[in-house]
Chain A
Amino acid sequence: MGKRVGIEVSIAAADAVASTDVDVVAAYPITPQTHIVEHLSELVNNGELDAEFIPVESEHSAMSVCCGSSAAGARTFTCTSSQGLALMNEIVFIAPGLRLPIVMILANRSLSGPLSIWNDHTDVMSIRDCGWIQVFAETGQEVYDHVLFSFRVAEDPAVSLPVILNMDGFILTHVIEPIEYWEPEQVKRYLPDFKPVNALDPDRPTTVGAFGLPGIYSEAKKAQDEALIHSKEHILKAWEELGQVVGRHYKPVETHLTEGAETVFLTMGSIGQTVAMAVERLRDRGEPAGLVKLRLWRPFPFEELRDAVRGAKRIIVIDRAISYGGTGGPVASEIRSALYGEDHMPAVTNFICGLAGRDVTPDDYIAMYERSLEMTQSKVGQEDSVFYGVRE
């Protein structure tokens, strides 16, 4: 078993990246991601990590450097937040099209304007359909474990897709948690050397990034979609083996007290911890409440979600982003459509809260629970999406 240390999660995340013997790191600083890249450059400059650290002039170039590096066969990492993600957006969509297994930590933060450096999920929801594998971590330990997991899945020759690991800004990036580090043998056992499927190599010339006429574009894109869908079996295997190596077990959808639950919360990321406290208190009061946590966002875990909410009459989806003028929060609208047509489809109510780092306490979740009991029938549309705790 690895040693357990009390450490800032960002530093632990960077140490986890370094433990993979990463070859190239390209990044541009932005709060709350900064401590991760600062620590990586420190490790490189102290000779503790043999990697190229490329201090690029923008996030657009960070992702572009990552594309060149990954295509040339190097294990490649980057990290950003919010405006940085928005600036690199164009290239974020290209990387999976080129099947480049880049790993990116996204320290989630709100998008401007107004400018805010604090945590919510408006950044990641802006790239929902970018084609990356996307997972959410709830605790510092999960971040650490999922760095290893992300490289393992991305570089699996049967997957060869980039992975985004979401960690909530400040709530995870800037807290000190006890984290169990992996031993080098454990890393070695879990993460094989990166052997690219197709590297830029003068001995085997390949053309990467050709352009697609109407006669072939759809085929190329369908193939990409299938690659993402089929990555799931490898994701499940990677979690299973992670459990065998370090004894922590992860699933695409986690449940807490859902046995006999009539109303379940659905969360993503670190707020799962707070909602769990609320659910426990509701249970103590005899309320049939439960909690479902989505860890895997893409590929979307349809079956696991349906299993997790089976028997529930009502789902309270907590969204930390807005779809302006749309069909509710982005997570709620996905959950509705994932369950649409199911026998005994639960009513889906939706609260948008915790934007830009605003505190949401267990009491608040209990209040949402009580309010949701009045919102019985789910309609598709905005009516059931409620901004919680906003002054009007």
Chain B
Amino acid sequence: MEAVNVYAARILEKQEYFKPGHRACQGCAEALAVRLVAKALGNNVIVASATGCMEIISSPLPFTNWDVPWIHVAFENTAAVLSGAESAYKALARKGRIKDRGTVFLGMGGDGATTDIGLQALSGAFERGHSFVYVCYDNEAYMNTGIQRSSSTPFGASTTTSPAGKKVPGQITWKKNMAEIAVAHNVPYVATACASYPFDLMEKVQKAARTPGPAYIHILSVCPTGWRIPPSKSIWIGRLAVETGIFPLFEVEDGRYRITVDVPEMRPVEEYLKPQGRFRHLTPEITARIQERVDFEYRKLVAKTQFKF
């Protein structure tokens, strides 16, 4: 399904594997991203999930929203659980006890589960080279436990453990670049995505699934509750993240970078920051610092796409 972008709406299958009726907040673009990922992969898949919003909203015993096999063990070990399932299938298929049907192993975790507490397990799984797709749903904080900061929370954002105070203006560290960390592991397919660009997202998921070995997709997932925006604005904010260059959409195939959603004219970051309650306290000076950093990071990314092999 190459270039699904062009005629996607018509060829997408109607079947959902992440079923409606879950308990996510209104306008949750993380749940939307989960749904798109599940749809892109179909039903020949085994999912391992980390603890977090997406796990809690979809698996209250004895109910489930999952129409594919799904396992949750803990917060920080998803990549290891996934390694185990993948290895089990490999061994069982080799011994002829199951048929090898090319089942896809999908890991899912929030930014906390991925960039903080689960980074070691993920690094180990990347390094061992298991064949899986790991998706980080990045809503830029620990939302499930009440909007605490993570290493993926952007500079300046106010969270419940990096509150905008009289002395400290919220988060004062720069967002960890998890996609680059994956690239540094020589993961053969790495991409960023956002549910505001659904076809770009699904195409990347399918590409990741076709890639032998590990693949990593980092999905910016707008969380109206934590970002303090109206639920109706989620998709719009996701677009602004891309159009301001704050969250560029790109992919890295065997080290080769490509920007997948071009932004010919970059909007000022202020347009992205202003509508969000978590950035309400920012002064023009801080906004200018963020603008400077975004420009720098974007130039770096563009330079990487121009690297001649």
Chain A positions near chain B (C-beta within 8 angstroms) = 21, 23-24, 26, 50-52, 54-58, 60-62, 64-74, 76, 90-91, 94, 98, 193, 200-202, 204-213, 216, 220
Residues of A within 8 A of B184 (CB): none
Chain B positions near chain A (C-beta within 8 angstroms) = 43-46, 48, 55-56, 59-64, 66-74, 76-77, 80-92, 94-95, 97-98, 101, 103, 120-121, 123-124, 127-128
B70, B71, B128: most-surrounded residue (chain A CB, <10 A): B71
Residues of B within 8 A of A207 (CB): 59, 64, 66, 69-71
Main secondary structure on chain B at its contact with chain A?
A: mixed
Given A50-B95, A213-B60, decide whether A68 and B66 contact each other with a Cβ distance below 8 A: no
Told that A94-B74, A211-B61 touch, could you supply 16 new A-B pairs with CB distance under 8 A? A50-B91, A50-B95, A55-B128, A60-B77, A61-B80, A64-B74, A65-B83, A66-B84, A69-B88, A71-B71, A74-B87, A193-B97, A200-B71, A202-B43, A210-B60, A211-B56
Given A23-B95, A202-B103, decide whether A65 and B61 contact each other with a Cβ distance below 8 A: no
Q: Once the chains bind, are A68 and B84 in contact (CB under 8 Å)?
A: yes
Residues of A within 8 A of B89 (CB): 72
Report the minimal beta-carbon distance from B165 to chain A, rounded to whole angstroms.
33
Q: Once the chains bind, are B61 and A220 in contact (CB under 8 Å)?
A: yes
- What separation, in Å, do the CA atoms of A73 and B72 have in the docked complex? 16
Q: Once the chains bind, are B71 and A68 in contact (CB under 8 Å)?
A: yes
Please name the residue on chain B nearest to A100 by beta carbon.
B73
- What separation, in Å, do the CA atoms of A91 and B78 have in the docked complex? 12
- What separation, in Å, do the CA atoms of A220 and B62 have in the docked complex? 10
Given A210-B59, A212-B61, decide whether A73 and B81 contact each other with a Cβ distance below 8 A: no
Given A91-B77, A94-B74, A205-B67, decide whether A68 and B95 contact each other with a Cβ distance below 8 A: no
Which 4 A/B pairs are nearest by Cβ-Cβ distance? A68-B84, A57-B124, A74-B88, A64-B80
Residues of B within 8 A of A213 (CB): 60-61
Report the minimal beta-carbon distance from A131 to chain B, rounded to whole angstroms.
15
Given A55-B128, A71-B85, A207-B59, decide whether A60 and B68 contact each other with a Cβ distance below 8 A: no
Residues of A within 8 A of B56 (CB): 211
- What separation, in Å, do the CA atoms of A220 and B121 have in the docked complex? 29
Report the minimal beta-carbon distance from B91 to chain A, rounded to whole angstroms.
4
Residues of A within 8 A of B82 (CB): 68
Q: Once the chains bind, are A205 and B70 in contact (CB under 8 Å)?
A: yes
Q: Once the chains bind, are B88 and A208 in contact (CB under 8 Å)?
A: no
Please name the residue on chain B nearest to A72 by beta carbon.
B88
- What separation, in Å, do the CA atoms of A200 and B103 have in the docked complex? 11
Report the minimal beta-carbon distance from B129 to chain A, rounded to whole angstroms.
11
Report the minimal beta-carbon distance from B52 to chain A, rounded to whole angstroms.
11
Q: Once the chains bind, are B71 and A209 in contact (CB under 8 Å)?
A: yes
Please name the residue on chain B nearest to A207 by beta carbon.
B64
Report the minimal beta-carbon distance from A368 to chain B, rounded to whole angstroms.
43
Residues of A within 8 A of B69 (CB): 200-202, 204-208
- What separation, in Å, do the CA atoms of A23 and B95 have in the docked complex? 9
Residues of A within 8 A of B46 (CB): 72, 200, 202
Q: Once the chains bind, are A210 and B72 in contact (CB under 8 Å)?
A: yes
Residues of A within 8 A of B70 (CB): 205-208
Given A60-B121, A211-B56, decide whether A54 and B71 contact each other with a Cβ distance below 8 A: no
Q: Once the chains bind, are A67 and B81 in contact (CB under 8 Å)?
A: yes
Given A57-B123, A72-B46, decide whether A23 and B92 contact each other with a Cβ distance below 8 A: yes
Q: Once the chains bind, are A68 and B88 in contact (CB under 8 Å)?
A: yes
Residues of A within 8 A of B66 (CB): 205, 207
Could you list 22 A-B pairs, sorted by A, with CB under 8 Å?
A56-B83, A57-B124, A60-B121, A64-B74, A68-B86, A72-B89, A73-B98, A74-B88, A76-B84, A200-B85, A202-B44, A205-B69, A207-B66, A207-B69, A208-B71, A209-B71, A210-B61, A210-B62, A210-B72, A211-B60, A216-B62, A220-B61
